[in-house]
Chain A
Amino acid sequence: MKNYTTMLAGVALCAAAGVAQAQSDFPQHPIEMTILFGGSAQTVGQVLAEEMSKLSSQPVVAVSRPGGGGAVGYSYAQATEANGYNIVWNSNSISTVYYQGNLPFDYKAFTPIARVGVEVPVVAVRSNSGWNTLEALAAGAKQRGTPLRVGVSGLGSFTHLVSAALFNQLGVPVVYVPYGEGRAPAELLAGRVDVAIQWPSQFQSHVRNGTLTLVCSTGIEKIEAEGAVPTCAEAGAKGMNITMWRGLVAPAGTPPEVVEKLEETAKQAVESAAFKKTVVNLGFTPAYLPAQEFGELIAKDDAVISDLMSKLGMNNR
């Protein structure tokens, strides 16, 4: 009997040690980072994975799982074991795709690791339109009598929600014209839409060329861009503060020690000079936030997005 107890105790001890061992030795094999989108989001994710690999004993591999506005990648990662070996390069899309009704779980299915950075949408018009301030734009649009045509990335996309928040507040009647990624600036140049809301990097060369003007940026902090762009809040849309964040999350239930380790690696990667130098060229602003604060931000933005989508009649929850 005594032998039996000792044995049991021994087994339990070994098991406990094994668990502790596994966690302190994390990672023991390569970590997979699921990428949900193409374009610059994918490129920034690849740069991040490279930097994290340099800092970790095991490589971090960026694996692309696009489709369904992020739903496919989120579903894949959510179904994996919560051990830290499957992380997601996520964004506000977790909220948009959930409220669209295309995902059976919401942001609570993931535990935050760290925010990596932000992308701030900007409002652009043709320089020769005469609508070079937000006030002039709003006044001109109301006076014209026909709805303003605003180019966004897709209905229910983040740029659409941002536009809706802005123009609802200004009381301007709007028609949203959805284009795939990257085409809205061309449509703006050609005059088929009056306004385009996209990422600053897409407009940069045309702003410097004098053909397009940036009216305002939608975050509360000023962005670094050609020709001192005011924030929309300063320009007349009081309290306007919506930015797209990107960061890392793991399936809920991932052990805290493992999350901590990933958080530390992410922090070092984001703050490295190499990461900064590369991603700034892609229009991405590195802005590290630790897990705790990142989690609060996700929850706060989720409520905002839910509210906005309800107003647009796109909330299917």
Chain B
Amino acid sequence: MDAFITASVLAFQPQSLLALVIGSLFGLAFGCIPGLTFTMALALILPLTFTLDPMMAIAMLISTYIGGASGGTVAAILIGVPGTPSSAATVSDGHALAKSGKASLAIAMATISSTLGGIFSLVVMVFSVKFLAEVALVFGPAEIFALVVFGMAMICGLAEQSLVRGLIGGVIGLMVMTIGQDPIDGVSRLTFGNVQLLQGVDLLVAMIGLFAVPQVVDALATHRNGTAVESKSVKVELPSLGYILGFRWNLLRSSLLGTVIGAIPGTSGTVAAFIAYAQEKRLARNPERWGKGEMGGVVAPETANNAVTGGAMIPMLGLGIPGDPATALILGGLLVHGIQPGPLLFIEQPETVYSIYFFFGLSYVLVTLTMLFGVKVFVQALKLPHHLLAVAIMVLCVVGSYSLRNSMFDIGAMVVVGLIGYLLQKARVPLTPILLGLVLGPIMERELRTAMIMSGDNATILLSPISLFFFGLSLLVVVLQVVGMVRAQRQKQAVSA
């Protein structure tokens, strides 16, 4: 209890709060702008924290992380280009809502869901960090592989009209991800001896290309005048409590899913967001309307991708093992100040642990308030003429692609992926499965190959109880999917006959 009081005194010091405000806003700005991510924000802010006192440094790192994880949704909803990969699942319904004049409601709901998901994961973290850190250890390469296969199976349901076209998209995504240096042997693949191609097509670069370039090309090719959204009324509308509570089961399920996926090292918020979306679509009463502006399709991914923040902190704090690049940077920042996450941190420096919890919660409060007040400003972007918005998006995308790795190659890759994406869209191949191939492909490959190496090429390693559980679920999902499709086809034929 003493430590708790000490921590609260330390956390509420003016300089810590100042660091918290700076971090939140900085993270939020990076999250909002397409092409800039919170990983980048953390890398930039990290050197600044070296010279701060430890409490201020922790406050700044944690708040940048949370601000960045929450901001990505704004661009996804307003302009249909996700600010970060973890908001990609929000695009289809979020942007459709914006087009029908409900942008402010969608952003507000996304913010509230993000916060609820984040706070849920914080509570789970506070009460069970040691236990969950141990549970996360059970997930080895074979188990993570099975989990990702399950993710793929769930996501097949997202292939909007045609399963075949969806699968084509998925395979294209998987293929693109094999370009570059092989993650296991370090052998170069499909690089034609070119050193630049060794870096491969980065997920973020591909995502910017896929979502932004087709929009820009469309805007400029059609020479359409007028604003990005046809609806003239851009009125600000916030959800009522009753409206929010209408999504309580969605919120709960997505929070749980995000926290669990976040706690497993090697997965990410993007995976969690897509699985949550697919799960809620499956459970919805009107799945056919998803993708056309259902609020549930905003709530589910945004809740899950922020629940990942608390989840990812679990192995980082409990074991000193970072689950993704963002938490690895936070870990580096803590180590610089002599704070060594791991089992002993809770015994030797409980006040540090408590202050991390405080900063985590406070950041969410701050981010929510900023976003809810900011909605008014954000939606003004919709009043911009379409072609001007297109040019602005293009500039941001080029800057974002370059600054990710300071590489001109990435700008070229973004444009090439984007133009191919545009052509595929004309051929009615959906873009979401391509992105999923890009996200899940590298994890699948790495985990499967590691599992096989570990067992001396004995495939029975893939049959651990946890893996079998996920393989079973995958099979169930695919069977249900096929049955559903056949039934729908029969009904259609019956109607037409």
Contact = CB atoms under 8 A, between A and B. Distances in A.
Interface in A255-284: 278, 281-283
B343 interface: yes
Interface string B327-349: 01000110111101111110000
A63 interface: yes
B372 interface: no
A154 B183 contact: yes
B184 A178 contact: yes
Given A102-B181, A180-B446, A209-B343, A67 B198 contact: yes
Contact of A66 (B141, B199, B266, B345): B199
A88 interface: no
Contacts of A155: 184-186
Contacts of B199: 66-68, 72
A183 B454 CA distance: 14
B412 interface: no
Interface stretch (A9-17, A107-115, A128-136, A184-192): A184-192
A230 interface: no
A16 to B, nearest CB: 36
Interface stretch (B1-9, B222-230, B318-326): B318-326
Interface in A57-72: 62-69, 71-72
Interface string A15-40: 00000000000000000000000111
A156 B186 contact: yes
Interface string B190-201: 000001101110
B484 interface: no
Interface string B134-148: 001110110000000
Contacts of B319: 185-186, 189, 206
Contacts of A190: 137-138, 140
Given A64-B406, A100-B186, A183-B321, A43 B46 contact: yes
A187 B453 CA distance: 14
B242 interface: no
A67 B181 contact: yes
A182 to B, nearest CB: 6
A46 interface: yes
B140 A187 contact: yes
Contacts of B407: 65, 67, 72
Nearest to A49: B47
A172 interface: no
Contact of B47 (A46, A204, A209): A46
Interface in B239-294: 265-266
6 contacts: A40-B335, A43-B46, A72-B407, A102-B181, A202-B320, A205-B342
Given A40-B335, A43-B332, 13 more contacts: A50-B47, A64-B405, A64-B406, A68-B199, A104-B195, A175-B456, A176-B453, A183-B265, A187-B140, A190-B140, A192-B140, A193-B454, A204-B340
| 7 A-B pairs with least C-beta separation | A205-B342, A67-B199, A68-B198, A190-B137, A156-B186, A43-B332, A75-B195
